[in-house]
A = this chain, B = another copy of it.
Amino acid sequence: MAREPAKIAELDERKVKILTAVIRNYLETGEPVGSRTISKYTDLKLSSATIRNEMSDLEEMGYIFQPHTSSGRIPTDKGYRFYVDNLISEKEREIQEREELIIEKADKLEAVLKQAARLLATNTNYTALVSTPEIHRNKLKFLQLSKVEKDSLLAVIVVEGNIIKNKMIHTGEEIDEDTILKLNLLLNTHLNGLSLEEINLGLITLLKERAGIHSEIINSVIDAVAEAIRADEDLEIYTSGATNMFKYPELMDSGKATDIINTFENKEELEKIVNASLAENNAGKNEMQVYIGKEMASPAMQDCSVVTATYDLGDGMRGTIGIVGPKRMDYEKAMGTMQSLMNQLDEIYKKK
């Protein structure tokens, strides 16, 4: 969780080269990487022995470690962090535009988000994570009661951001059209433009008085409004491609993959991740975040990394999109794909 900057100054140029070589190689193979491999892999002409010394230093400094005595090295969380912070940003921009994901136009936001998740998952071979927007400051924009059957009314509620909610209200007795008209007028004059917080007990009492014998209905309506708005507060989170986790032996073999997929079914855990991302993004807009291992709040995820971004569709509709993968995920690709997706989301919802 605590995330230190990991300054580049701490390492001289050669160490940086070796560290990145280790990381790059490990990203590809998923196996611990030894000194001999590095000595051939890099352009600097050094023998394996020298590399060994440097690697020993790097280990002491906490960037890499050995899973068991005398085997190759593997990057630590700190190592990955360094890599992500200092070494990606340059390359990323070139790649990101390489191939465009294609989001078919779909009208409903929910469908778009689901499709986005699927796209991310299939493109990256990791797991995608999408949270539906949390509705901020939702003011009531439109409220209407209509008679649908003899003894039931339909309340249609539209809040800022054009979120529409419906609620059937069973009245028990028949209500005539005239009364409905009056109720509609009453409700609209008093409630329109208000936010949930502004609809307090005093206002409700006032409304009930005005409604006279139909105060019962007012109750139902207020309930409906409250419930409708509240219902959107516990946000939905979709995942897609969860089983991609199985493709990575280091997770599969240790049985971690199962744990991880289990937490994908657990809303609370996912919320932790999403919320962390949202919070961090309140200040710096539209930046991508990368959380590595223990930087994540969720314990089961400590063998993963996640790339998150926050989308903002205006009207206070903000949500998070994430790509979850093993620590040795291809950060460049993940971030590139994510960026591309965000661009497209922007495009779709900007012209509307």
A residues in contact (CB < 8 Å) with B? 107, 141-142, 144, 146, 148, 154, 156, 158, 162, 164, 166, 168, 227, 240-243, 246, 258, 261-262, 265
Contacts and interface: CB of A to CB of B under 8 A. Distances in A.
Nearest to A231: B108
A229 to B, nearest CB: 14
A333 to B, nearest CB: 21
Given A164-B166, A243-B261, 14 more contacts: A141-B148, A142-B146, A142-B148, A146-B156, A148-B158, A156-B156, A162-B168, A164-B168, A166-B166, A241-B265, A242-B261, A243-B258, A243-B262, A261-B261
A154 B142 contact: yes
A141 B148 CA distance: 7
Contacts of A227: 107
Q: Give 3 nearest A-B pairs by CB, closest first.
A: A164-B166, A142-B148, A243-B262
17 contacts: A107-B227, A141-B148, A142-B148, A142-B154, A146-B156, A148-B162, A154-B156, A154-B158, A156-B156, A164-B166, A164-B168, A166-B166, A242-B261, A242-B265, A243-B261, A243-B262, A243-B265
A91 B258 CA distance: 35
A228 to B, nearest CB: 11
Nearest to A146: B144
Contacts of A258: 243, 246
Nearest to A118: B265
Contacts of A261: 242-243, 261
A258 B252 CA distance: 10
A292 to B, nearest CB: 24
A258 B142 CA distance: 48
A178 B142 CA distance: 18
A146 B145 CA distance: 11
Contacts of A156: 146, 154, 156, 166
Contacts of A158: 148, 154
A168 B242 CA distance: 34
Nearest to A170: B352
A183 B69 CA distance: 80
Nearest to A255: B246
A142 B243 CA distance: 43
Nearest to A158: B148
Pick the most buried of A141, A146, A242, A243: most chain B CB atoms within 10 A of its CB.
A243
Nearest to A165: B166
A243 B258 CA distance: 7
A40 to B, nearest CB: 35
A296 to B, nearest CB: 19
Nearest to A163: B166
